[in-house]
Structure formats: C-alpha cells, structure tokens
Amino acid sequence: MKGMIPYFPQPEIHLFGPVTLHAFGALVALAVIAGWLMTVSRCRRKGLDPTVCEDLLTYVILAGFFVAHLYSVLAYFPEQVLRDPLLLLKFWEDISSFGGIVGGVFGLWLYFRLTGKRIPAFDRMRYLDVIAYVFPFAWAIGRLGCTVAHDHPGTITTFPLGISLATPQARAYITYFYGAAGRLAELPDAATLSKMAFNDLGWYEFLYTLLVMVPVFLALDRKERKPGFFVIAFPLLYVPARFLLDFLRISDARYAGLTPAQYAGAAVFLVALYFAVRGGFRLEK
C-alpha cells in the first residue's frame, strides 16, 4: 500500500555564492516572527507591557535555540561529541525541538532572575500564559518546516498518511537512515518497499498541532482563564502525542527503551498534571 503523500526533496533557493535559502530555515524564521507578533499583540490585549513582552521573548528565543542544540548533541549524539567537541559550537547543526522547549523555559527563568525581578509573581504568570497560548500556532509553522525537510524520518509503514516510497529517491533516503542505525536487515526488498511509506514524524506532529491543539486552544480562549491555564494545558495536550510518536523513530539514542525526549516529556507532563490537580485546573477566571 503506497503512502498517500508523495515524497519530495526540501525546496531551496540559491541566492548568491555559497548562500542557499532552505525551506526549513525560512519556515522556522516565519514561526519565530509570527509567534513574536502574536505574543506582543496578545500582551497588549491583556493589558501587559509590550516592552517587557519583547524583552522576555528575546531571552526565550535565544535560550531556546542554544539549549535545543546542546540537548540534541549531548542526548542523541554523545559519541560524536567525544570525537569532536567542537560540535557543541556548531549551533547551525542538530537541534532538538524538545530541547528548544526546555531552553525556552530556561530563558523565562533567566529573564525573571536577571531583568524582571520587580515584576510581581501574578504578572509573571500572565506573561507566561500569553506565551504558552501562542506557542502552538508558531509551533505548527515550525513543524511545517520539519515536514518539508523530512528531518524526522520514522519507521516504514503502510499508514495512508505516511510518505510514499514509490520513487528511488525516497527509498534511498529512508535506506540511508536505516543503514546509519544498523537496521538495514529490517527493510524488505525494493519491490515491496516501493509499495510502502515511511512515518514522517514532523508531518504527523504538524497535523496534530494544526488540527487538534490550535482548535482546542481557540475554543478554550473563548472564556477568560486564570493565569497559568495555558501553561498547564500545553504540556497536557502536547506531551502524550509526542511521547507516542517517539516510538516510531529509527536511530535516536534510547535509554532503557525510551528516548531522551520521552523522559523529559514524561517529567514535564507529571509536573503539569500535579499543578492541574492541585489547582483544580479551574477553567474560568
């Protein structure tokens, strides 16, 4: 059974000299810009200081990208770091989406620790809630970048929403990742493989974020919520889907059968669940 989604290489535009604009980079940049504008706009509507909001976003974005890279190379490619420690400084390579979330949270803490000390605790939670609400909207755009880059290939499948392996280019692509993981023996012959697909985890997460999380957040936002509501709602909605998708990964490092993102996700989910239960997760203000 062929995948319903045809495989295509990542679109790119050659600008000049060695500079090439890749679709992934363009969509990530668009996600940052859209998230920034939506967050500042929502801060204004909520009566929050847009200047504080912009300063806070600067910390979140810089720390997010910084930790996203470190988390990726240290958790997933530790043997490569031992061979080449300079890999830690190559921030344009290898980023982890979950590491980016962890880094964003670290950026929040750092801002309130260094710059926003005088902001009352109640207002801090209001700023955090604004960011948490906007996050799925920007996240969907970023995951679209992962989709066009096919940078999260998963196991082969007959699932209709998988990426078709009908073309030689697609089969060569997935064969490379199975080979890198030492799992070539698991692939069927070329004729059988051509009738299958591979699980594109970025594509699945894009669909989940766009079709589930964004509509749910829009529906929940119809009523006034207590500060902290969306801070809790995001991990409760996002983590279970991400946890399950990680089982489909081909070559990610695993510890006792789980990926680093699954361990981090489980911890975040339990913390969010604790605060949801402790606070009654009251829906209305």
Query: Beta strand 163-164 with 19-22: parallel, antiparallel or unpaired?
Result: unpaired
Phi, psi of 41 (to 5 degrees): -65, -45
- Give the per-residue pLDDT at 281: 57
What pairs with residue 11 in β-bridges?
none
Joined tokens for residue 139:
């996240």
Segment 42-52 mean pLDDT? 95
Residue 264 has pLDDT above 90, yes or no: no
The residues, any chain, with a CB within 8 Å of residue 111's CB and separated by 6 or more, are 55, 56, 59, 60
DSSP letter for 211, please: I
Joined tokens for residue 46:
């909520």
Model confidence band, residue 67 (pLDDT cutoffs 50, 70, 90): confident
| Mean of the per-residue pLDDT values of the chain | 88
Question: The tokens 């799925």 sit on which residue?
Answer: 136
**83-101: per-residue pLDDT in tens?**
766 666 565 556 677 777 8
- Give the per-residue pLDDT at 68: 79
Alpha helices in the chain (DSSP H): 23-45, 50-76, 78-83, 97-114, 121-149, 168-180, 190-193, 201-208, 214-220, 229-245, 260-278
Joined tokens for residue 48:
């929050």
- Give the per-residue pLDDT at 25: 86
Residue 12 has pLDDT above 60, yes or no: yes
**102-154: per-residue pLDDT in tens?**
888 889 999 999 988 899 989 999 999 999 999 999 999 999 999 999 988 99
Model confidence band, residue 49 (pLDDT cutoffs 50, 70, 90): very high
Model confidence band, residue 280 (pLDDT cutoffs 50, 70, 90): low
Least confident window among 66-75, 134-143, 144-153, 176-185: 66-75
Cα separation of 143 and 139, whole Å? Answer: 6
Model confidence band, residue 250 (pLDDT cutoffs 50, 70, 90): very high
Cα separation of 23 and 142, whole Å? Answer: 11
Q: Do 189 and 168 meet the contact criterion of CB atoms below 8 Å apart?
A: no
Q: Do 46 and 229 meet the contact criterion of CB atoms below 8 Å apart?
A: no
- Give the per-residue pLDDT at 11: 85
- Phi and psi based region of residue 12 (left: phi greater than 0; alpha: psi -120 to 50; beta: remaining): beta
**188-219: per-residue pLDDT in tens?**
999 999 999 999 999 999 999 999 999 999 99
The residues, any chain, with a CB within 8 Å of residue 167's CB and separated by 6 or more, are 6, 7
- Give the per-residue pLDDT at 277: 86
- Give the per-residue pLDDT at 21: 81
Annotated domain spans of the chain: 21-278
Segment 32-56 mean pLDDT? 95
CA triple 157-159-160, angle to 5 deg: 135
Question: The tokens 């535009």 sit on which residue?
Answer: 13
Cα separation of 174 and 114, whole Å? Answer: 46
Residue 285 has pLDDT above 70, yes or no: no
- Give the per-residue pLDDT at 251: 79
